[in-house]
Chain A
Amino acid sequence: MSASYRGKEFETYLHETGETGYAQMVSHPIVYIVGLPGAKINEVVLFDNGEIGWILSLPEGLVEVLLLSVHPMRIGAQVVRTESLLQVPVGMGLIGHTVNALGRSLYKTEPIHYDEMRAVESLAPGIDKREKITQPMETGVVVIDLTVPLGKGQRELVIGDRKTGKSEFLLQTLLTQSKAGTVCIYACVGKKRIDIKKVENFIQRNNLSENCMVVASSSSDALGMIYLTPYGAMSMAEFFRDKGRDVLLIIDDLTTHAKFYREVSLLSKKFPGRASYPGDIFYTHSRLLERAGNFAGENGPVSITCLPVAETTEGDISGYIQTNLMSITDGHIFFDTEIFDAGRKPSINYFLSVTRVGRQTQSKVRWGINRELFSFLSLYEKTQAFVHFGAELNEGIKSTLSMGDNVFTFFNQPMGQIIQLNLQIVLFCLIWVGSLKTSDSANARVLFDKASALYEADPEFRNRVDTLVNSVDDFNALLGRIAPMSGEFMSYLNAK
């Protein structure tokens, strides 16, 4: 079978371009071609065995090509130019599927219907096409929504050691946003196949295929494909944005991406910089993440909210790639191993986490809660340290500790459970006024689950909660409204 690319045969490209080349040297996945006088950087080339490559650079007399295949190329292989940049097929038909970086389904199921082709690499829109971030992005995770709020169009780095709950948090966010109608793209970069399967199973189990898709490359895939995965995912996100849909793009993870890019760069003999990374490693990530944001759309602002993930070792957030990503993004959520070991999940260290644009999206009520909560949590941490001395505790300290325990039980959220924003505010107020005690954490969890399910299923309950929260513009005023009706509220919940 003759080699082909995008419906055209190898011979057709040969006749159209009138140019050809031959592989002279192979340092897999880098292939050095002699010939192709009209080659351009970022152009796609087609080999005679059907494999495609991507022109990385043009050293003297040669063409350096990154092969997008696992199998090494043979010396002497013939190659032609396709006169096209690397493009990825995009379309509404991608939703619900798991595809690779170039838009091809990973499974041999029905063919995917594409609407158009988009360049994998494109310039980030300028400032004239952007709008201020004003809408909150609900994650459904209490500790984030109340302490480290996010906005639609924000780039927020999720950073922490391995196995600290980052992926669980991301899936909870995906669940919340998918139910809200946001298109969610989960990009797995160089992940184990079992991890990719877990994401797919989560989407199927929660019936999220209507709004979710996965762009995946496993660790055994070609280096070139792993490198292109986040760029392909971003191009797909831009298509949905241009169709007027808000998009949530999760890139898991960029430290792995940096390692694979380092391998490609060292093989192509680029001079190694700090930690052997190439000098353009910052640009590699910044040009990707700058394509996310809040943009002016035809019918109002549309956003691509990006949650890139960075892995740390031993909690060291001062690593090269980690600090690069922290400076590119609009804040970071830090998953602390010590908090994880203490049994709190999600193990987010809100004191070390930052949100640079999330607070401007908060309502006055949320802002009030945020301020009170941070002040209280700071006091609680100091009190905890004081308690270790074993001194006798007065009533004030006991009440602080008790309230802290209640709040932390509220913060502890199992995998797969989400609590909607307005409901979070009401439940927090109930805890704050002392009506809802979470000392029996198992019962408390059951209550939160019930409330969350009721909020989704019962329009009257949802309406009451939303009206209550939206009727005031001050946290203290809200407390004043909730305190008298807290008994009634708790009875209603317990009765259901």
Chain B
Amino acid sequence: MKLLVTARESENILEESDTLLRSLYKVEDGNFDNEYPRTTSIKPLFEELHVDVRNKQQVEKALNDIRDTLKDSQKIQLTVAFVPNEKFLDKLKIWTEQNVGTNVILDIRIDSGILGGVKLVFNGLYKDFSLIAKLSNYFKEYNNVSQLPR
């Protein structure tokens, strides 16, 4: 299963799948349409995975697979200076799929203090490509140079 979502999306998926799993005992085969239409995150996933929502066992298996996939997913934490729109998120997902792989959760945090660029944390490794870091380094070098004896 391929799953590439943001952290918020993964939380929604987990919550909805939890609700559905708990309510499965009330549902008879073919009668799952009461709970299912209310879900916002699970529905598109089921459509993508071609899950037969009338088959209770298939639904249960799909939900468990989704939860396991999310649990085993790698997490990329991105700290950016602006609130990303849908277009940006889509571009990000495409790039991640091409360069990192699928089954990744994008944890996007907003910190206007970095001014621009991004701070990345992936598999415990930290990289700072923020504008504030570049400017700090620049001013540090400038001060070092300006303090050199003439």
Residue of chain B at shortest CB distance from A38: B124
Q: Tell me the chain A residues, 344-361 only, with Cβ under 8 Å from chain B.
A: none
Digit string of A1-38 for contact with B (CB within 8 Å is 1, else 0)? 00000000000001101111100000000000011110
Is B124 a contact of A19 with CB atoms below 8 Å?
A: yes
Is B127 a contact of A18 with CB atoms below 8 Å?
A: yes
Residues of B within 8 A of A19 (CB): 124-126
Q: Tell me the chain B residues, 110-150 only, with Cβ under 8 Å from chain A.
A: 121, 123-128, 133
Is A15 a contact of B121 with CB atoms below 8 Å?
A: no
Residues of B within 8 A of A20 (CB): 121, 124-126
**A17-B121 Cα distance, complex, nearest whole Å:** 13
CB A68 to nearest CB in B, in angstroms, measures 22
Residues of A within 8 A of B127 (CB): 18
CB A129 to nearest CB in B, in angstroms, measures 40
Is A18 a contact of B123 with CB atoms below 8 Å?
A: no
Is B124 a contact of A15 with CB atoms below 8 Å?
A: no
Residues of A within 8 A of B121 (CB): 20, 35
Residues of A within 8 A of B124 (CB): 19-21, 34-37
Is B123 a contact of A15 with CB atoms below 8 Å?
A: no
Chain B count of residues within 8 A CB distance of the other chain: 8
**A21-B124 Cα distance, complex, nearest whole Å:** 6
Residues of A within 8 A of B123 (CB): 35, 37
> How many cross-chain pairs have Cβ atoms below 8 Å apart between A and B?
24
**A17-B123 Cα distance, complex, nearest whole Å:** 14
**A355-B24 Cα distance, complex, nearest whole Å:** 74
Digit string of B42-68 for contact with A (CB within 8 Å is 1, else 0)? 000000000000000000000000000
**A309-B61 Cα distance, complex, nearest whole Å:** 61
**A444-B43 Cα distance, complex, nearest whole Å:** 97
**A53-B121 Cα distance, complex, nearest whole Å:** 21
Contact of A37 among B125, B128, B133 (CB under 8 A): B125
Residue of chain B at shortest CB distance from A37: B124
Residues of B within 8 A of A36 (CB): 124
- Would you call the interface of chain B mostly helix, strand, loop, or mixed? strand
**A20-B123 Cα distance, complex, nearest whole Å:** 9
Q: Which of A21, A34, A35, A36 has the most chain B CB atoms closer than 10 A to its own CB?
A: A35
**A21-B126 Cα distance, complex, nearest whole Å:** 9
Residue of chain A at shortest CB distance from B123: A37
**A310-B126 Cα distance, complex, nearest whole Å:** 48
CB B85 to nearest CB in A, in angstroms, measures 26
CB B25 to nearest CB in A, in angstroms, measures 31
**A430-B127 Cα distance, complex, nearest whole Å:** 81
Residues of A within 8 A of B128 (CB): 14-15
Q: Which of A15, A17, A21, A36 has the most chain B CB atoms closer than 10 A to its own CB?
A: A15
Q: Which of B124, B125, B127 has the most chain A CB atoms closer than 10 A to its own CB?
A: B124
Digit string of A28-69 for contact with B (CB within 8 Å is 1, else 0)? 000000111100000000000000000000000000000000
Residue of chain A at shortest CB distance from B133: A15
**A18-B133 Cα distance, complex, nearest whole Å:** 14
Q: Tell me the chain A residues, 50-103 only, with Cβ under 8 Å from chain B.
A: none
Residues of A within 8 A of B133 (CB): 15
Digit string of B29-41 for contact with A (CB within 8 Å is 1, else 0)? 0000000000000
Residues of B within 8 A of A37 (CB): 123-125
Q: Which of B125, B127, B128, B133 has the most chain A CB atoms closer than 10 A to its own CB?
A: B125
CB A53 to nearest CB in B, in angstroms, measures 16
**A178-B125 Cα distance, complex, nearest whole Å:** 52
Residues of B within 8 A of A14 (CB): 126, 128
**A197-B126 Cα distance, complex, nearest whole Å:** 46
CB A58 to nearest CB in B, in angstroms, measures 12
CB A81 to nearest CB in B, in angstroms, measures 10
Residue of chain B at shortest CB distance from A21: B124
Residue of chain B at shortest CB distance from A81: B124
CB B61 to nearest CB in A, in angstroms, measures 26
Residue of chain B at shortest CB distance from A36: B124
**A14-B124 Cα distance, complex, nearest whole Å:** 11
Residue of chain B at shortest CB distance from A20: B126
Q: Tell me the chain B residues, 59-110 only, with Cβ under 8 Å from chain A.
A: none
Residues of A within 8 A of B126 (CB): 14, 17-20
CB A62 to nearest CB in B, in angstroms, measures 11
CB B95 to nearest CB in A, in angstroms, measures 21
Residues of B within 8 A of A17 (CB): 126
**A428-B61 Cα distance, complex, nearest whole Å:** 90
**A37-B127 Cα distance, complex, nearest whole Å:** 14
Digit string of A304-331 for contact with B (CB within 8 Å is 1, else 0)? 0000000000000000000000000000
**A195-B3 Cα distance, complex, nearest whole Å:** 60
**A369-B74 Cα distance, complex, nearest whole Å:** 76
**A287-B123 Cα distance, complex, nearest whole Å:** 36
Residue of chain B at shortest CB distance from A15: B128
**A17-B125 Cα distance, complex, nearest whole Å:** 9
CB B143 to nearest CB in A, in angstroms, measures 17
**A396-B58 Cα distance, complex, nearest whole Å:** 102
**A15-B121 Cα distance, complex, nearest whole Å:** 12
Residues of B within 8 A of A21 (CB): 124
CB B136 to nearest CB in A, in angstroms, measures 10
**A15-B123 Cα distance, complex, nearest whole Å:** 16
CB A348 to nearest CB in B, in angstroms, measures 56
A-B contact pairs, 22 of them (CB 8 A): A15-B128, A15-B133, A17-B126, A18-B125, A18-B126, A18-B127, A19-B124, A19-B125, A19-B126, A20-B121, A20-B124, A20-B125, A20-B126, A21-B124, A34-B124, A35-B121, A35-B123, A35-B124, A36-B124, A37-B123, A37-B124, A37-B125
Known A14-B126, A19-B124; further 6 A-B contacts with Cβ < 8 A: A18-B126, A19-B126, A20-B126, A34-B124, A35-B123, A37-B123
* A contacts, CB < 8 Å to B: 14-15, 17-21, 34-37
Q: Closest 3 interchain pairs by CB? A: A35-B124, A37-B124, A20-B126
